[in-house]
Amino acid sequence: MKLFSFILIILCFFLVSLAFSVDIKDLIFYYPFDQFSGNVILDQSGKGHDGEIKGNIKIVDGGKFGKAAEFQTGDYIDVRGPDIPADQLPREQITLCAWINCKNTAGDHAIFNARATDQTWLIHPEAKSGGDFRWLLRTDGGGGIFDFRAGSVTWGSWQHYAGTYDGKKGILYINGEAVGEANGGAKIAKDWGSGARVGKNIDNARPFTGLMDDINLWKTALTKNEIKTIMEKSAGELIKPEAISVYGKISITWGLLKH
Q: What is the mean pLDDT of the chain?
A: 87
pLDDT for res 257: 30
Q: What is the CATH number of the domain that holds 95?
A: 2.60.120.200
> Maximum Cα–Cα distance for the chain, whole Å?
68
- Asked whether the beta carbons of 173 and 227 are under 8 A apart, the reply is yes
Euclidean distance between CA atoms 234 and 224, whole angstroms: 14
In-domain check, residue 15? no
pLDDT digits 0-9 by tens, 192-239? 999 999 999 999 999 999 999 999 999 999 999 999 999 999 998 877
Euclidean distance between CA atoms 95 and 18, whole angstroms: 20
Euclidean distance between CA atoms 136 and 139, whole angstroms: 11
Backbone angles phi, psi at 198, to 5 degrees: -105, 120
Secondary structure class of 29 (helix, strand, coil): strand
In-domain check, residue 174? yes
pLDDT for res 141: 96
pLDDT digits 0-9 by tens, 32-81? 999 888 899 999 999 999 999 999 999 999 999 999 999 999 999 999 99
pLDDT digits 0-9 by tens, 100-113? 999 998 899 999 99
Q: Name the pairing type of β-strands 94-102 and 169-174.
A: unpaired
In-domain check, residue 131? yes
**Sorting pLDDT into bands at 50, 70 and 90, what band is 240?**
low
The helix or strand, by DSSP H or E, that contains position 224, with its residue range, turns out to be: helix 224-233
Euclidean distance between CA atoms 33 and 35, whole angstroms: 6
* Count of domains observed in the chain: 1
Euclidean distance between CA atoms 49 and 111, whole angstroms: 17
**Sorting pLDDT into bands at 50, 70 and 90, what band is 2?**
very low
Euclidean distance between CA atoms 202 and 59, whole angstroms: 23
Q: Which domain holds residue 179?
A: 22-242
In-domain check, residue 199? yes
Backbone angles phi, psi at 112, to 5 degrees: -150, 150
The proportion of the chain whose per-residue pLDDT surpasses 70, expressed as a percent, equals 84
For residue 62, CA distances in Å to 34, 48, 53, 95, 143 come to 11, 26, 20, 25, 40
What one-letter code names the amino acid at 257?
Answer: L
In-domain check, residue 16? no
Question: CB under 8 Å to 83, separation ≥6 — which residues?
Answer: 49
Better pLDDT: 130 or 21: 130
Secondary structure class of 128 (helix, strand, coil): coil
In-domain check, residue 57? yes
Which pTM value belongs to this model? 0.86
In-domain check, residue 99? yes
Count CB neighbours of 12 within 10 A. Answer: 11
In-domain check, residue 181? yes
CA 16 to chain centre: 22
The proportion of the chain whose per-residue pLDDT surpasses 90, expressed as a percent, equals 79
